[in-house]
């Protein structure tokens, strides 16, 4: 790993895990499919002028090793893998895999950068205590991360939450930690550029991690995912969020929950590839041309 990342500013790394999934599985092939569809991502960002590949050193370093047959152990493997990747100073853009992976990644991030602010786009808060009696799964990463001090809870924003819930208190736990929650219906029919002004203010200069669950986006645009919820964000709003992170002190990010078996046209993976490119564009050090 260390060799792989030598001299890199940012690396893409696949985490092909779906053992933490609650409904439809298949995210284990997310990294493979997103790589395939990334073949039409070109060099520059015509809308913003960002030129990431002319500014910083970037590479895809392959997949992290893990024991996919034992979820708690896989989490340890992921944490170890990311710790090594980050040890050279390289920042990571993880390609999931289900959302379970963000917990061990944030453990590694904390060791390197301390507690981080979080821009979290998702249909679900993912702050359950557990599911079916198991503490570790894709519905719980931010609970564990917050409890373990990986998050600077006053600098956490969750955008796009919606859908039916297990209990009317589903979002309360996060609010008590200080999370700002922006439900999907607060985003309907409007640009999220104003929201991102507030988010930038909230984040300040501290380190920030972006966790993008593709199910934050409406299933019309992102059908290939395991727990889709109706009436979600649009790709337009997703771009407003990510582009709105420009200038923040981004220390890492992930794009999770793309499930290729349910992505019948490949377009969810294509969307994910574009979002990952846009996330790359807002990493520190990326230069922008005037447009």
Subset of 149-188 contacting a copy of itself (CB under 8 A): 161-168, 170-171, 183-185, 188
Token duo for residue 279: 């996330």
Q: Which residues are annotated as a binding site for Mn(2+)?
A: 99, 122, 124, 126, 213, 215
Of 1-9, 207-215, 230-238, 249-257: span binding a copy of itself (CB under 8 A): 230-238
Is residue 67 involved in binding a copy of itself (CB under 8 A)? yes
Q: Are 142 and 209 in contact (CB under 8 A)?
A: no
Is residue 254 involved in binding a copy of itself (CB under 8 A)? no
Token duo for residue 286: 């990326």
Is residue 206 involved in binding a copy of itself (CB under 8 A)? no
In terms of Cβ atoms closer than 10 Å to its own Cβ (0-12, 13-18, 19+), residue 57 is middle
Subset of 127-156 contacting a copy of itself (CB under 8 A): 131-134, 136-137
Binding mask 272-291 for a copy of itself (x = CB under 8 A): --xx-x-----------x-x
Q: What are phi and psi of 112, to 5 degrees?
A: -85, -45
Q: How far is the CB of 117 from a copy of itself (least distance, A)?
A: 24
Is residue 239 involved in binding a copy of itself (CB under 8 A)? yes
User: Can you tell me which of 219, 244, 252, 253 binds a copy of itself, judged by CB under 8 A?
Assistant: 219
Is residue 71 involved in binding a copy of itself (CB under 8 A)? yes
Q: Are 95 and 12 in contact (CB under 8 A)?
A: yes
Of 43-51, 106-114, 206-214, 245-253: span binding a copy of itself (CB under 8 A): 43-51
User: Can you tell me which of 55, 87, 177, 267 binds a copy of itself, judged by CB under 8 A?
Assistant: 267
Q: Are 13 and 61 in contact (CB under 8 A)?
A: yes
User: Can you tell me which of 20, 103, 177, 205 binds a copy of itself, judged by CB under 8 A?
Assistant: 20
Is residue 62 involved in binding a copy of itself (CB under 8 A)? no
d(CA 12, CA 26): 20
CA atoms within 13 A on the CB side of 278: 23
Token duo for residue 236: 């337009």
d(CA 3, CA 135): 34
Token duo for residue 194: 């104003």
Among all chains, which residue has been given the structure tokens 């439900």? 183
Of 1-9, 141-149, 204-212, 268-276: span binding a copy of itself (CB under 8 A): 268-276
């Amino acid at each position: 790993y260390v060799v792989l990342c030598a001299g890199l500013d940012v690396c893409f790394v696949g985490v092909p895990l779906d053992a933490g999934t609650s409904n439809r599985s298949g995210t284990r092939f997310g990294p493979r499919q997103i790589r395939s569809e990334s073949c039409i991502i070109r060099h520059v960002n015509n809308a913003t002028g960002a030129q990431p590949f002319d500014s910083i050193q970037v590479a895809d370093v392959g997949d992290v090793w893990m024991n996919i047959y034992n979820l708690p152990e896989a989490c340890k493997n992921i944490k170890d893998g990311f710790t090594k990747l980050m040890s050279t100073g390289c920042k990571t853009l993880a390609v999931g895999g289900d959302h379970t992976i963000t917990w061990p990644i944030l453990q590694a991030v904390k060791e390197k950068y301390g507690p981080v602010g979080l821009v979290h786009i998702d249909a679900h808060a993912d702050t359950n205590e557990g599911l079916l009696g198991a503490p570790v799964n894709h519905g719980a990463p931010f609970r564990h991360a917050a409890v373990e001090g990986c998050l600077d809870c006053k600098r956490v924003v969750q955008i796009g939450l919606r859908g039916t819930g297990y209990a009317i208190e589903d979002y309360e736990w996060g609010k008590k930690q200080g999370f700002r929650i922006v439900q999907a219906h607060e985003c309907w029919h409007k640009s999220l550029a104003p929201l991102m002004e507030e988010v930038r203010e909230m984040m300040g200069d501290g380190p920030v991690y972006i966790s993008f669950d593709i199910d934050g986006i409406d299933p019309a645009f992102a059908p290939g995912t395991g727990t889709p919820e109706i009436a979600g964000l649009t790709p337009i709003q997703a771009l407003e969020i990510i582009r709105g992170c420009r200038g923040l002190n981004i220390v890492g990010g992930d794009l999770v929950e793309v499930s290729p078996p349910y992505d019948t046209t490949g377009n969810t993976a294509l969307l994910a590839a574009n979002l990952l490119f846009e996330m790359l564009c807002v990493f520190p050090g990326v230069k922008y041309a005037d447009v």
